[in-house]
Amino acid sequence: MQSMNTFISAFSKASCATLLIFGAAYAGTEQAKTNPLEGMGELKVVASGFKSTEGPVWLSKKNTLLFTDIPGNTIYGLNSDTLTLEKVRSPSDVANGLSLDNEGYLLAAEQKNRSITRMNLTTKEVTPFIEAFEVEGKRYRFNSPNDMAVHANGNVYFTDPPFGLRRDPSKREIDFNGVFVRTPDGNIKVIKEMAQTKNPNGIIFSPNQSTMYLAVSDDESGPILAFDVDAKGELSNEREFARAQNTDGMAMDADGNLYVATRTGIKVWSSEGKEWGRIDLPNNIRTTNCAFGGKEKDTLYITNRSADLYAIKLKVKGHQ
């Protein structure tokens, strides 16, 4: 059956943002779902004064969004009720991606130390968590840990592009860009090796953790890969799910729709690969990541390469 395609372009008076929606109907097939971008609210600036933000993660018990300002060397917390901003950790050792582990500790991928640390959000104590990759008794420092995804079994998957080494590539100790996993017993193994020209970036699980998505950044059009995941966290059936320019961090809603930060806004796909549309920021600002939060978990926060942090309400609830 031929799907009915619609194209809607609306302009937010407050932000001059463009919201693009594709294929709003797509009815009459087994893949039919509601477009998560239909009926969205107004794009708003919720905090300002940054250099370039990344790593958003929602802390439900404090109704707070945690995120990083990479050049600002700070991890911030934004309370969604009061919109008050606090410095959670500064300096942050140039933290990039953030994630919460299964015990509620904050994991931070640090460019300065080329490692991942674990922070107790109550005591603010920071301890090493992932420091090096060991092969035949020899330890190798990572390139520049970037983003993480935590499995229910305790496995921590993380990407390791060379972004933090661009000023001095001679410091590279691992001759490939990779995706790694740390198991609960502390062992670290590589699960995907990539050429030095390929940059593994955002990484996330589907709501039931049966699929893992990996964004591979490219200045032209890079792939978003999908993998099957079994109960033990083992990956199989690697395949290309979609493509976009400069793919970065990702979020997932409760219906399994995938939200991907790209050079041209937040692009959204259904779990079957149907592209629903895109959320653009003003002045073609490049997005870096996104995460759901808010009391109803229906607010999508968008980090980006500007001084502002953006948020928009959707009709769907987030999963991650």
Q: Per residue, what are the HEC states of 77-137?
A: EEECCCCCEEEEECCCCCEEEEEECCCCCEEEEECCCCEEEEECCCCCCEEEEECEEEECC
State residue 20's pLDDT score: 66
Asked whether residue 177 is domain-assigned, the answer is yes
Coil, strand or helix at 163? helix
Number of domains observed in the structure of the chain: 1
Catalytically annotated residue among 147, 160, 248, 298: 248
The pLDDT tens digits of the residues spanning 166-199 come to 889 999 999 999 999 999 999 999 999 999 999 9
Residue 113 assigned as binding residue? no
Asked whether residue 171 is domain-assigned, the answer is yes
* pTM for this model (two decimals): 0.91
The C-alpha atoms of residue 91 and residue 95 are separated, in whole angstroms, by: 9
Asked whether residue 284 is domain-assigned, the answer is yes
The pLDDT tens digits of the residues spanning 31-61 come to 437 999 999 999 999 999 999 999 999 999 9
The CA-to-CA distance between both ends of the chain, in Å, stands at 33
CATH number, position 110: 2.120.10.30
Asked whether residue 3 is domain-assigned, the answer is no
State residue 25's pLDDT score: 39
User: Block means of pLDDT (10 residues each) for the chain, length 320 residues?
Assistant: 32 46 42 83 98 98 98 98 97 99 98 98 98 96 98 98 93 97 98 96 98 93 96 96 97 98 97 98 98 98 99 95
Asked whether residue 301 is domain-assigned, the answer is yes
**Phi, psi at 164, each rounded to 5°:** -75, -5
State residue 167's pLDDT score: 86
Asked whether residue 152 is domain-assigned, the answer is yes
Residue 54 assigned as binding residue? yes
Residue 280 assigned as binding residue? no
Asked whether residue 75 is domain-assigned, the answer is yes
The residue with tokens 């502002």 is 308
Q: Catalytic site residue 93?
A: no
Q: Which domain holds residue 158?
A: 41-313
The CA dihedral of 203, 209, 210, 211, to the nearest 10 degrees, is -20
Neighbours of 12 (CB within 10 A): 17
